Chain A
Amino acid sequence: MDLLIIFISAAIVNNFVLSLFLGICPFIGVSNKTSSALSMGMATTFVMVLTAIVSWLLYFLLLVPFKLEFLQIPSFILVIASLVQFVEMVIKKVSQPIYRALGIFLPLITTNCAILGFALLLSMREYTLIQSIIFGLGAGVGFTVALLIMSGIREELELTDVPKAFRGAPITLIIAGLLALAFMGFAGMI
């Protein structure tokens, strides 16, 4: 029950993109096509779960016992970046189809603010390892959902006549605002 609440809270109520403003860059950059949005979302979910495990181990087993919390930011970034690079190489060797689906997005998201923000939130909330993994899964699913909805709307948007000054980033932001408004409806769920 506890785990379910963590999952739903991370995926819908406190959606990473629409209510915590983490990962806005890929949200605006990669939401042109539904297919690339799905790949990006899946890659992010994967990295988040990985980050959950690694940063939990790093923070609670290494940094806290040795009173090295002030090294949190550089150590998180270096460990996450090198780990993702390593996983990318492994995937490339092991499975070509998965590499083609996720591969090109992996290096893009290693130091994306959604991932680092997630790792920092994790250390603030003091979850257990299992809870952290569920939190990562929920956050990733929420990110994917937001990206998919956005890409669907943007595909339709190409057919509409938007004023020239509002094309590109401005209209995307306004749509994101309306989506955030819709997601506020979930606020009372938990």
Chain B
Amino acid sequence: MKKNKTLSYEFIKGLWEINPIFKQVLGMCPTLAVTVSVMNGLAMALATTFVLVFSSLLISSFRKLIPNQVRIAAFIVVIATFVTIADLVMKAKFPELSKALGPFVPLIVVNCLILGRQEVFASKNNPLRSLLDALGNGAGFLIALVIMGGIREIIGSRTLMGYSVLPNSFEPWLIIILPAGAFLTLGLLMGFANLYVERKKRIELEAGIAKYKAAKNTLDIKLGEK
């Protein structure tokens, strides 16, 4: 990670360039398990972002005090504290949502995405950059979870955020909201995302080649004139 990167880049890179789900393939368990509906995905992503942001902030503030040998243990204790806060708040304020997410709220502790950001970024950068990085990664995670939840909710139960969006004549594909559907949806989504990126790259490459050829032609003509 170069020091001269602008602050806005630290936020934006999380959205797509190093998107936790599509690019880093981290934090798969909650992505697959809770995205039965948009609401669940949103709640999970917000809880994860809360933990990520506060852990990054705390760890980057204390990064010079944490000895290198015990850093992993220190990170985990910090993360576990915030997860406990998130878990208790959810249980108290949104008992239904907490029940729907099951053990996956406490399991935010072992989400590799959070530990990964602490190890790669927060332990080496100042609090402001770490905050932006955490927000960006959280937002990237949120986008992926909402897309997954949206697709699975529309196809699997005909609704979006609890509102009916497809006509009753459409028979819901039950398989999509079952575990098998989670794997299939994410696999296809990642595949098509790769396909899109690949095509975009090829078009850019071809445009580059065309530009180069045109430049070479004009240069040749100029040389010929001389």
Q: Which of B28, B30, B106, B186 contacts A120 (CB 8 A)?
A: B106
- Distance between Cα atoms of A24 and B25 in the complex (Å): 10
Task: Write 6 A-B pairs (CB below 8 A) sorted by A numbering.
Answer: A19-B179, A24-B29, A117-B103, A166-B194, A170-B194, A171-B191
- Whether the Cβ atoms of A165 and B81 lie closer than 8 Å is no
Residues of B within 8 A of A23 (CB): 29
How many residues does chain B have at the interface if contact means C-beta atoms less than 8 Å apart? 41
Give the interface SS of chain B, mostly helix, strand, loop or mixed.
Answer: helix
B164-197 Cβ-contact flags toward A at 8 Å (1 or 0): 0000000000010011111110111011101100
Residues of A within 8 A of B188 (CB): 170, 174
> Assuming the A-B contacts A164-B198, A170-B191, are A178 and B25 also in contact, with contact meaning beta carbons closer than 8 angstroms in the complex?
no
**In chain B, what residue has the closest Cβ to A172?**
B187
Residues of A within 8 A of B28 (CB): 21, 24-25, 28
- Whether the Cβ atoms of A169 and B190 lie closer than 8 Å is yes
Residues of B within 8 A of A121 (CB): 103
Taking beta carbons and an 8 Å cutoff, which residues of B are in contact with A?
25-26, 28-30, 32-33, 73, 76-77, 80-81, 83-84, 87-88, 103, 106-107, 109-112, 115, 175, 178-184, 186-188, 190-192, 194-195, 198
- Whether the Cβ atoms of A24 and B190 lie closer than 8 Å is no
Residues of A within 8 A of B76 (CB): 74, 77-78, 81, 111
> Assuming the A-B contacts A25-B112, A70-B84, are A113 and B107 also in contact, with contact meaning beta carbons closer than 8 angstroms in the complex?
yes
- Distance between Cα atoms of A189 and B117 in the complex (Å): 42
List A residues 134-190 near B (Cβ within 8 Å). 163-166, 169-174, 176-178, 180-181, 184
- Distance between Cα atoms of A70 and B83 in the complex (Å): 11
Most B CB within 10 A of own CB, among A74, A121, A124, A177: A177
Interface flag for A112 (CB, 8 Å): yes
- Whether the Cβ atoms of B29 and A22 lie closer than 8 Å is yes
- Whether the Cβ atoms of A20 and B198 lie closer than 8 Å is no
Residues of A within 8 A of B88 (CB): 70
- Whether the Cβ atoms of B180 and A169 lie closer than 8 Å is no
- Whether the Cβ atoms of A18 and B179 lie closer than 8 Å is yes
Residues of A within 8 A of B183 (CB): 173-174, 176-177, 180
How many whole Å from B42's CB to the nearest CB in chain A? Answer: 18
Pairs of residues from A and B, 4 with the lowest C-beta to C-beta distance, nearest first: A173-B187, A177-B183, A177-B184, A174-B187
> Assuming the A-B contacts A73-B80, A113-B107, are A165 and B187 also in contact, with contact meaning beta carbons closer than 8 angstroms in the complex?
no
Residues of B within 8 A of A73 (CB): 80, 83-84, 87, 106, 109
- Distance between Cα atoms of A116 and B88 in the complex (Å): 18
How many whole Å from A77's CB to the nearest CB in chain B? Answer: 6
Most B CB within 10 A of own CB, among A112, A124, A180: A180
- Whether the Cβ atoms of B187 and A20 lie closer than 8 Å is no
How many whole Å from A163's CB to the nearest CB in chain B? Answer: 8
- Whether the Cβ atoms of B180 and A177 lie closer than 8 Å is yes
- Distance between Cα atoms of A111 and B106 in the complex (Å): 13
- Distance between Cα atoms of A81 and B80 in the complex (Å): 13
**In chain A, what residue has the closest Cβ to B175?**
A181
Q: Which of B29, B179, B195 contacts A25 (CB 8 A)?
A: B29
Residues of A within 8 A of B187 (CB): 166, 169-174, 176-177
Residues of A within 8 A of B83 (CB): 73
**In chain A, what residue has the closest Cβ to B197?**
A165
- Whether the Cβ atoms of A120 and B107 lie closer than 8 Å is yes
**In chain A, what residue has the closest Cβ to B184?**
A177
- Distance between Cα atoms of A180 and B30 in the complex (Å): 17
- Distance between Cα atoms of A177 and B73 in the complex (Å): 34
Interface flag for A34 (CB, 8 Å): no
How many whole Å from B75's CB to the nearest CB in chain A? Answer: 10
Residues of B within 8 A of A181 (CB): 175, 180
- Whether the Cβ atoms of B32 and A77 lie closer than 8 Å is no
Q: Which of B81, B110, B175 contacts A111 (CB 8 A)?
A: B110
